[in-house]
Amino acid sequence: MSLIVQKYGGTSVGSPERIENVAGKAAAFRAQGHDVVVVVSAMSGETNRLVALAGAIDDQPDSRELDVLLSTGEQVTIALLAMALKKRGVAARSFTGGQVHIRTDSAHNKARIVDIDKQRVSAALAAGEVVVVAGFQGVDDSGNITTLGRGGSDTTAVALAAALSADECQIYTDVDGVYTTDPRVVPEARRLDRITFEEMLEMASLGSKVLQIRAVEFAGKYDVPLRVLSSFEEGEGTLITYEEEGMEQALISGIAFNRDEAKLTVLGVPDHPGVAHRILGPVGAANIEVDMIIQNVGADGTTDFTFTVHRNDFVRAREVLDSVAAELGARQVDGDDKIVKVSLVGVGMRSHAGIASRMFEILADEGINIRMISTSEIKVSVVIDEKYLELGVRALHTGFELAQEAGTNI
């Protein structure tokens, strides 16, 4: 007998009918003799609704109370799913994150799981119950409810699978696997049978929201067999796996993009040691995360300094920069929050030159101006204007022949 952890996302539990569908799937696994733990998200749209409600009270709501509010979304779904299972005659029991001792740090709204005391879940499984757990939430050492950041139910599922040494962690969602890029933007995107942890981690961190980045980190670290599948169709989905020796690696496995970016430039900064620190120090102190950074070659004793932040932090970052720029005697602060980041990802890139220049050529042929560039061993990222996102991603997908099985020619 094996132990399976399944996670169903918001769309998959978006209506009573869909919750019944999930109950049917979980019950079928149980009937085959598996132990089953089911992690569920809030019904689709619910977390956004709760965020908006909080915003109607306070545009900077207290983070502890926001977690109390947000965690209710998942609590609704666990109860409904457990009811649907019991109605079918399947023994089941719902638990909040706190009830199954998902212990986190105290970083409200973006807490990290520290450990899981598996006693409670194991006891329920031993009693023959399907265990239904609220995703996205935990509890800190002082008993406060915490949440794990958007998309956090993925991480709950993987962490439970790791703690319980599950045979597989199945992430059921509204697409039937991980694709070469978001199939909503490129309809001819191709489902991948397998993708390495390393590539999935890169895709997730560069904006592919199909899996929360921490879920991929956890799965890689604790060796959890992880699969992404559709809630609505049968199929094998995509297995996230280790790089196998001798495995012919695709040059490029996918294209990720992130619409949540904004860019800021300080123009005419005096070009001496310590300037980067004097600009980014206050930004970091304001708890604003910086992504890409570029400093131009100095000319006439001054230079320009550009970096990107999350769009939600744009206005605050600009305020910080305005005062820094005045102190430094910089000429001007510029900003643009209508930009996006597009990235090519592939472990096969390690051994090939020329990917970046081919990427720039494809974008140039479409008349798309590149505003920033950053590269690493297994990715090339560019910042472009938001209005070119779809055009750029489609052109790259076609140009690198990602729709074809043997794609990746340059």
210, 266, 342, 344: which one binds ligand ADP (CB under 6 A): 210
* Identity of residue 190: R
Give yes or no for a contact between 36 and 30, defined as CB atoms under 8 angstroms apart: yes
151, 220, 237, 346: which one binds ligand ADP (CB under 6 A): 151
How is the beta sheet containing 372-376 ordered, strand by strand? 290-295, 302-310, 254-270, 332-345, 379-385, 372-376
**With b meaning 16 or more CB within 10 Å and e meaning fewer, what string describes 242-270?**
eeeeeeebbbbbbbbbbebbbbbbbbbbe
118, 150, 191, 209: which one binds ligand ASP (CB under 6 A): 150
Q: Nearest distance from residue 3's CB to Mg ion, in Å?
A: 23
What element of type H or E holds 389? helix 389-399
Binding partner of residue 47 among ligand ADP, ligand ASP, Mg ion, none, CB cut-off 5 to 8 Å per kind: ligand ASP
Give yes or no for a contact between 10 and 43, defined as CB atoms under 8 angstroms apart: yes
Q: H helices then E strands: how many in the chain?
A: 11, 18
Residues in contact with ligand ASP, shown as a per-residue x/- string from 69 to 98 under the rule CB under 6 A:
----x-------------------------
Residue 72 or residue 302: which is nearer to ligand ASP going by CB? 72
Q: Nearest distance from residue 227's CB to ligand ASP, in Å?
A: 17
Q: Please tell me whether residue 10 binds ligand ASP under the rule CB under 6 A.
A: yes
Q: Please tell me whether residue 8 binds ligand ASP under the rule CB under 6 A.
A: no
Q: Please tell me whether residue 316 binds ligand ADP under the rule CB under 6 A.
A: no
Residue length of the chain = 410
Q: Please tell me whether residue 202 binds ligand ADP under the rule CB under 6 A.
A: no
Q: Please tell me whether residue 112 binds ligand ASP under the rule CB under 6 A.
A: no
Residue 174 or residue 334: which is nearer to ligand ADP going by CB? 174
Give yes or no for a contact between 270 and 324, defined as CB atoms under 8 angstroms apart: no
Residue 153 or residue 253: which is nearer to ligand ASP going by CB? 153
Q: Please tell me whether residue 47 binds ligand ASP under the rule CB under 6 A.
A: yes
28, 45, 49, 184: which one binds ligand ADP (CB under 6 A): 184
Q: Please tell me whether residue 209 binds ligand ADP under the rule CB under 6 A.
A: yes
Four-CA torsion 13, 16, 18, 23, nearest 10 degrees: 90
Residues in 233-262 at the binding interface with ligand ADP, rule: CB under 6 A = 254
9, 97, 138, 392: which one binds ligand ADP (CB under 6 A): 9
- Rounded CA-CA distance 155/40 in Å is 11
Question: If you compute the radius of gyration of the chain from its CA atoms, what whole number of angstroms results?
Answer: 23
Q: Please tell me whether residue 96 binds ligand ADP under the rule CB under 6 A.
A: no
Bridging pattern class, strands 35-40 and 130-134: parallel
Q: Which of 167, 165, 169 lies closest to 155, judged by CA?
A: 169
14, 138, 152, 392: which one binds ligand ASP (CB under 6 A): 152
**What are the residue ranges of helices labelled H in 96-138?**
119-126
Q: Which of 250, 46, 220 lies closest to 150, judged by CA?
A: 46
Locus of tokens 């409904």 = 80
Among 120-128, 148-156, 163-171, 248-256, the segment contacting ligand ASP (CB under 6 A): 148-156
Residue nearest to ligand ADP (CB): 9
List the structure tokens of 244: 């196998």
Among 4-12, 57-65, 261-269, 296-304, the segment contacting ligand ADP (CB under 6 A): 4-12
Residue 9 or residue 14: which is nearer to ligand ASP going by CB? 9
Residues engaged in binding ligand ADP (CB under 6 A): 9-12, 41, 151, 173-175, 178-179, 181-184, 208-210, 254
Residues engaged in binding ligand ASP (CB under 6 A): 9-10, 41-42, 47, 73, 135-136, 150-154
